[in-house]
Amino acid sequence: MTRRIWPGTQAPLGAVYDGEGVNFTLFSQSATKVELCLFEAVDDVVERERIELPERTAHVFHGYVPGLKPGQLYGYRVHGPYDPRAGLRFNPAKLLVDPYAHAIANEPDWKAPLFAYDRGTHEREEGARSKSVRPEPLRDGDKAEAARGGKTPAERRAAEARARECPPAPAHPPDDLVICHRDSASGAPKSVVVDHRFAWDGDRPPGTPWQDTIIYEVHVKGFTQRHPGVPAHLRGTYAGLASEAAIAHFKKLGVTALELLPVHEMASEREIWERGLVNYWGYNTLSFFAPAGRYAATGRLGQQVTEFKAMVKALHAAGIEVILDVVYNHTAEGNHLGPTLSLKGIDNWGYYRLVSNNPRYYMDYTGCGNTVNTRHYQTLQLVMDSLRYWVTEMHVDGFRFDLASALARGLHDFDRLSSFFDIMHQDPVLSRVKLIAEPWDVGEGGYQVGNFPVLWTEWNDRYRDSVRRFWKGDLLAADLGYRLTGSSDLYGSSGRRPYASVNFVTAHDGFTLNDLVSYNEKHNEANGEGNRDGTNNNHSYNHGVEGPTCDPVVVELRERQKRNMLATLLLSQGVPMINAGDEIGKTQLGNNNAYCQDNEISWHDWDLDERRRKLFEFTCRLVALRRTQPVLRRRRFFSGGSVHGSGLKDIVWFRPDGGEMTSDDWTHPSARAIGFLLGGDAIWSLSPRGEQIVGDTLLVLINANPVPLEFVLPAIEFGERWEVLIDTRTAEEPARTVPARAGGERYLLIDRSLAVLRLLERKGPKKKSKAPKSRRT
């Protein structure tokens, strides 16, 4: 018997349960008919009921089904012309995911016919497939090469225009022009009606100020899968990440925010599935609203929503913010030869950017086959509704936007005045949360580090490369000075603050910290792509032996270099981001693109030997130092001058001989050793109650040379006494019995090491001093 359906309402979009039934809505500007399909089980081959949505208002199909309850499985069949040359890919034989679904019961089963076209004899060859490999951010050398390209800018623009107008012919016959009438319901993802009731019990966001934020980039499964303190049935899940053992680690480490690798419902690409692997990182979004069911311990019929909320609630109770790494720039449907799972079969023209004069093909600014069309009002609404949902309903504290430049492109180029930014800035919900951009995409002009608007922070790859190259010995101190002080050359002239720079040395894509100092070359053979994937430009150094070694000299130097880079990260102005596992010496065996390794290569190994345990304790001390020293968490850029009422300049740079650095010293061939003093009573900023912020005065000494070097401790004005807090020659805490050093004495830094000293006392009255002429402010 056909179920009765009422007209319902056109808003809100999605499937909304009101206690007595469910209102269904779906936007499609070009469809001729939409059918709602109801299923009893995930593996149903045929729907139990198929009901045409009876009303259409402002391109929104809608209908209300009384009696339906949460947990109901559903999908859509959307009717219309199948004409790929015109950009139309409707095919009612393909069950489609609701773009506003709040839960998805299953990931795609690639044994089912999930492609809207007849793949014919090329079913297994894939033709020109949707790109599976996560695009690696361009390094400085790559960016320069891409920018040159052997052509003038005008020639490059003309070539790009020709490529858009005349895409290269596919290597195989044009299968996508012939429709496939085989039903996909047996393996298509199925949407779930969700009941959002949850006992938040007064949950409040921690609201950590940007300058006090310390980010921990972490994968839900990778962190918990092998953790002995996480109950076995909770490993790899949201509940595991909220367990006592996991939170205890976060608290001891001292981080203030978790940046979760993608947790939007995702799909592995067919070609990865054929290799017996999985898209582990998750940068292949299927649904912008649904939390990934693969990380749910309690079930996938809406339970994943409740479990995610419980995780956020537990982390908030511990004072830890939750930031989501979100992928709105592309989806799992790939290019013209990709599957039809949702948006492609609902309104291909509206949801994706198509080549204007040949809409069979997709504009690909992401390197993943397609680009989401945020220039279309409905697609922009979809993205904004999703973001607001995660803040208001799921209580997350912010977002890191993958390939964010793609979201702000106008007709072709990046546009700082795009509608995307306008809406974000005026939105009363989204303008108040943390917004982090990955400020590039793979299209021409996509590299936009330093160019995002004032409310945004950015992943700063200039910081990453400078720190790596400096400690490797490839870079003088000139560029490092900017990175240590918040990258004022990138952010200082546009009204932004030092915390606009999210500093990192390693991240999920690339070498881990351990592998950065252990491998000269990538070793990605396990990915099944002939070691061709992943970047070749790592700025890494194995210190004489490729991979693991028992040579005590090499091992000790590698451990020191880890400490050096962690110390540099946590002593720099800006927002530090620690790659989860680096604090315990995690290795991926030289794999710098472990996007498809859902196994021991990517999971954290918690069986810590003494060396790895000491690294963890050292990292904890560094984080504690940062959290207790306001001079390391400045809200303003340095001026290089003295502050009213202070006898110290806010920053002073020193040569090893104790003299203040001049402009020529920064570019001198020997400029691989520097010192800088941070004035604790020259911070400028006021506390929330209007009081002057005052902290300790710190002295940081850095020697990146391969030989030991003595530094003369500064004896500014009437002399000082200094206490050693950190010396990376060892992982151990400096003994309290070591006598303080007087200004004018020499302090020995061994080769490739760093030290932090604290001012204990100053003799004589404070004096004001004039601002020096310093380039690194």
**Catalytic machinery residues:** 402, 438
Nearest to 493 by CA among 637, 680, 321: 637
578 beta partners: 216
Task: For the sheet with 191-192, list strands across it.
Answer: 49-52, 33-39, 73-79, 191-192
Separation of alpha carbons 97 and 333, rounded Å: 12
14 beta partners: 25
Separation of alpha carbons 534 and 536, rounded Å: 7
**Cβ atoms < 10 Å from Cβ of 145:** 13
And the tokens for 286?
Answer: 């299927």
And the tokens for 373?
Answer: 């069309």
Which segments within 474-601 are labelled E, that is strand? Answer: 501-503, 575-579
DSSP state at residue 264: B
> Contact at 8 Å (CB) between 348 and 89?
yes
Separation of alpha carbons 286 and 282, rounded Å: 10
Backbone φ/ψ region at 691: left (φ over 0), alpha (ψ -120 to 50), beta: beta
Separation of alpha carbons 342 and 333, rounded Å: 8
User: H or E element: which one contains 239?
Assistant: helix 238-241
Separation of alpha carbons 141 and 477, rounded Å: 19
Kindly report each contact of residues 296-299 with a partner whose C-beta sits within 8 Å and lies 24 or more positions away, as own/partner. 296/237, 296/238, 297/233, 297/234, 297/237, 297/238, 297/239, 297/240, 298/239
CA atoms 27, 33, 38, 39: torsion sign: negative
- Report DSSP letters for 651-695, one per residue: EEEE-TTSPBP-HHHHTSTT-SEEEEEE-TT----B-TTSPBP--
And the tokens for 86?
Answer: 């015109």
Which segments within 252-335 are labelled E, that is strand? Answer: 257-260, 321-326
